[in-house]
A and B are shown apart, each in its own frame.
Chain A
């Protein structure tokens, strides 16, 4: 869905996303805040400027696919899907509630618009290869996007898929690494370094592009270039900041899964946001 770009409006939308995501997670008592906030601009860019889809026909065959392999970033995807009309925004407040359609990790059977279930890290890129192969066999022209985490990239299965996609020149596959440089136990370069990350993907026969994952122009231009590249799969390394916009946990590993024990905690996270004064898109008590 391509819309005219209005920087101020997009900045405002990103602020609203962060406000709503943080509220949803705080309201449910806990959740993966950091990895959702790092992806806000990327996900908005995909759903507002790049991907083709039809909320009235979620299984439209010609739609672009998106596999959120770092399945714990469900919240940012849920907000995008709700705001694009895949399901009512009112549902957003049900995240992680008993019987919800919005579980902490992406579930294709529960949530309209989610293309693949993910949560056990490392598996989404293989599924994405399957999606890309299916399109190739059928002569379909849509793109397949797969967002992987940097910590997730410790998983060996990611590299099985990487080798396969490179060998098979899956040019309809675009990977995006959310490179916020943090994982649960600390900084990625201290736990198990990923560097040289770009060279790793290149050596697996992927085209590699890098972008500032919070810069609208850079995201748009890089993904556009990736779509136009026909020589094989493309990995976009998105340099991001974990928990971007929430000062108390921004760029800190504890943002991965925050616990919100009481009203004081709730207020702490909400007040720490650099964007305020948004109306929640759902009724709250």
Chain B
């Protein structure tokens, strides 16, 4: 795919390179953008490699989804991307009916999730896409944390039939996994073992959770940390087994605390094994123009907050 180590590349570059690689051998892979192909990384990487299967609808996200649905019914595997709010909440009904209800094999990618869209501010800052996409029948919901997981996740999406949604952070991210990593939506990845608390994270927040766990370890506090790249399907067993030992679950996500990863955990635990849960994330507020660190601090979801929540078990 490239000679450069993947973790030195931007996430969006790896997304585009992976799609090119898939499209080289699969004539059904297609990319549909809604005037954000450069932001998604598919312009020029995919658009020049496979111009016949690169489609740009202009600023018309609903049309992007509908075209994707039509192409998918004809056997194509379209990857449709936009900023998370425009790839999900703006076109929620189009996805619900033309993709999920119609069981069209469309892959939807929401870029710059949550607070990672900082400079674009509140209008572009979507804190509910994990929740609303999770609530949709016949939809799977993924949020990979680094380039290796992203590449593996995109391959998995291309190789498996069905409507899917994936969050994608755009810039370079700290390396968490390596070339051997194989994405499996059925199983959360155990990042560390411990009995002080169960910590579950997804997507962009996993790096901060990992940092918090390492610092806690230095203080002699061992945390059972799981990375949930798949929020739906949700690996219930790993959570229940861990919670049975620790008795306290901390969830952390680059989203609202309502309905996403924290919501999924609470649903499982309240029904199957009532356990105390601390949800870290945005507490029912809109976003704003600000740096990531400012927003991590403001919404009390930074490394120190994660450590504190784990200690309070």
Residues of A within 8 A of B (CB): 67, 107-109, 115-120, 123-135, 137, 156-157, 160-161, 163-164
Contact = CB atoms under 8 A, between A and B. Distances in A.
A160 B62 CA distance: 8
A227 to B, nearest CB: 20
Contacts of B67: 126-127, 129-130, 133, 161, 164
Interface stretch (B95-103, B154-162, B176-184, B194-202): B95-103
Interface string B21-52: 00000000010000000000000000000001
Contacts of B52: 137
A133 B73 CA distance: 12
Given A127-B69, A129-B66, A157-B94, 8 more contacts: A119-B97, A126-B67, A127-B67, A127-B70, A127-B73, A127-B98, A129-B67, A163-B60
11 contacts: A116-B73, A116-B98, A123-B62, A127-B67, A129-B70, A130-B70, A131-B74, A133-B55, A157-B62, A163-B58, A164-B57
Contacts of B57: 160, 164
B58 A164 contact: yes
Contacts of A157: 62-63, 66, 94
Contact of B73 (A115, A129, A132, A164): A115
B305 interface: no
Contact of A131 (B70, B96, B97, B102): B70
Contacts of B277: none
A123 B62 CA distance: 8
Contact of B74 (A107, A119, A130, A161): A130
A161 B67 CA distance: 8
The interface residues of chain B, by DSSP majority, are classed as helix
A126 B102 contact: no
B76 interface: yes
Interface string B46-87: 000000110101101011011111111111101000000000
Most buried by B among A118, A128, A131: A131
Given A116-B102, A120-B93, A164-B57, A129 B63 contact: yes
Interface residues of B, number: 30
Most buried by A among B58, B67, B69, B101: B67
Contacts of B73: 108, 115-116, 127, 130-131
A107 B94 CA distance: 15
Contact of B102 (A108, A156, A163): A108
Nearest to A129: B67
Given A108-B102, A109-B102, A117-B102, A161 B66 contact: yes
Contacts of A67: 70
A126 B97 contact: no
Nearest to A115: B73
A157 B34 CA distance: 13
Contact of A134 (B63, B66, B75, B101): B75
Contacts of A107: 102
B107 to A, nearest CB: 14
Nearest to A130: B70
B218 to A, nearest CB: 54
A126 B74 contact: no
Contacts of B76: 130, 134, 137
Given A133-B55, A160-B60, A164-B60, A127 B93 contact: no
Contact of B98 (A109, A123, A163, A164): A123
A115 B72 CA distance: 12
Nearest to A119: B97
A144 B65 CA distance: 18
Nearest to B70: A130
A79 to B, nearest CB: 22
A107 B93 CA distance: 16
A131 B74 CA distance: 7
Contact of A117 (B53, B55, B78, B101): B101
A126 B55 contact: no
Contacts of A130: 66-74, 76, 78
Given A120-B97, A164-B57, A128 B62 contact: no
Contacts of B71: 130-131, 133-134
Contact of B66 (A109, A115, A126, A137): A126
Contacts of A128: 70
Nearest to A109: B103
Contact of B94 (A108, A123, A129): A123
B74 A123 contact: no
Contacts of A164: 57-58, 60, 63, 67
A117 B100 CA distance: 11
A124 B62 CA distance: 11
A107 B58 CA distance: 29
B267 to A, nearest CB: 28
Nearest to A158: B63
A67 B98 CA distance: 12
Contacts of B68: 130
